[in-house]
């Protein structure tokens, strides 16, 4: 048994959960916040048998896309009073960060 933990942008969460459900996977979503942009993310947990991990990863790849977003770097860190780089910069965001971990025991109550 494996636990797939996917951290995705909030914009991709509904599509991912729907896609997983339509493919027969059960998932749990948790609200989370990213460290770099300090924006909302969703952490999706999916418990699956080892032979179905790649199917879950394929669905994540298909539904969670990378985007470009303008940010004001120092303002987003709370340092707007410094004379440094405060012009908006375009950075890549999105996609998914996925962890696959072994599960010693899985119980459904």
From CA 64, how far away is CA 58, in angstroms rounded?
A: 10
Q: How far apart are the first and last CA of the chain?
A: 17
Please tell me whether the overall predicted TM-score, pTM, comes out greater than 0.85 for this model.
no
What band does 1 get if pLDDT is binned at 50, 70 and 90?
A: very high
pLDDT given for residue 82 in this prediction: 54
Question: For position 4, what pLDDT does the model report?
Answer: 98
Give the C-alpha separation, 22 to 36, whole Å: 32
- In tens, the pLDDT along 37-91 reads 566 789 999 999 999 999 999 999 999 987 776 667 654 455 555 555 567 777 6
**What is the per-residue pLDDT across 92-101, written as a single tens digit (0 to 9) for each?**
666 899 999 9
Task: Kindly list the structural domains of the chain, giving each domain's residue range(s) and its CATH number in brackets, ordered by start.
Answer: 2-102 (3.30.70.120)
């Amino acid at each position: 048994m494996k636990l797939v933990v996917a951290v995705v942008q909030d914009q991709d969460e509904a599509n991912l959960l729907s896609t997983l459900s339509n493919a027969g996977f059960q998932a749990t979503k948790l609200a989370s916040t990213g460290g770099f942009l300090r924006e909302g993310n969703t952490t999706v947990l999916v418990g699956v048998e080892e032979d179905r991990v790649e199917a879950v990863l394929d669905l994540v790849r298909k539904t969670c896309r990378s985007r470009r977003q303008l940010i004001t770097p120092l303002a987003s860190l709370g340092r707007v009073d410094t004379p440094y780089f405060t012009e908006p910069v375009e950075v890549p965001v999105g996609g998914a960060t996925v962890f696959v971990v072994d599960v010693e025991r899985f119980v459904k109550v």
